[in-house]
Amino acid sequence: MMDKEFILKNMHESRKAQRNYSDQEVDQELIDFLIEVAVNAPSKQNEVDFNLTVITNKDMLKEHEERFTWGYHWKQTNSAMHNTQVHAPLIFVYGQTLPEDIHKDIWAADEDGPGENELFEEQFRDTQNLSIGISSGQLVLSARMMGLTTGFSQNTMHNGVDTYDWKEFLGYDRDEFYNPKLVVGVGYADETGVVGYEVAKAHVEKVLAEYV
């Protein structure tokens, strides 16, 4: 018998954003399971129309935290801060693909009349964003059901960061197309509060040092 209460409980829990993760690593078996979930979410014509990069390397995670998680609090637009929802031991980075990566003959659309190709590209972007949303939602719910906690971040281009920084970080060639759209953090909650306290303390000290 399906445990509906268990599913509903985790569904509601998945709406909460984790901001203080423990140092406990996620087992590779669980990581493989979550990758399978993420790339097999429902999509138009069963296409995977996004790039997915999964990072567990500690040096890369540290660099990601320091360079790629800057943003602004919605009530304090002049106050930059990190989005700690993705300061996790495991992150999933969703990136855009180009229409021609999937549809090799997209330029043939212009044969149907002026502007058809532009319309196709616009529709592709809309569909792509939907695919990323569905995939990340399925990923987060599954992670919660496996006893993990999660968080989201769209803070990919703040504090002077651009697509070239992301390409270098992820190992893309400079002339390759890459555009990050969403980062999902996955890990175990810090039940002691120590990690969250240390993160907050370090951030305050860093901000104070810049203005003193």
At residue 192, the pLDDT reads: 78
CA-based radius of gyration for the chain: 19
pLDDT tens, position by position, 109-125: 455 555 556 777 778 78
pTM of the prediction? 0.82
6, 32, 34, 144 from 9: Cα distances, Å: 5, 24, 19, 9
**How far apart are the C-alpha atoms of 100 and 180, rounded to whole Å?**
18
44 contacts 123 by C-beta, under 8 angstroms = no
Q: Give the per-residue pLDDT at 180.
A: 95
- Per-residue pLDDT tens over the stretch 4-51: 999 999 999 999 999 999 999 999 999 999 999 999 988 777 777 789
- Residue 137: pLDDT over 60: yes
Top-ranked range on mean pLDDT: pick from 118-132, 138-152, 184-198: 138-152
Which pLDDT belongs to residue 132? 94
What's the confidence (pLDDT) of residue 106? 54
User: What is the C-alpha separation between 60 and 203, in angstroms, rounded?
Assistant: 19
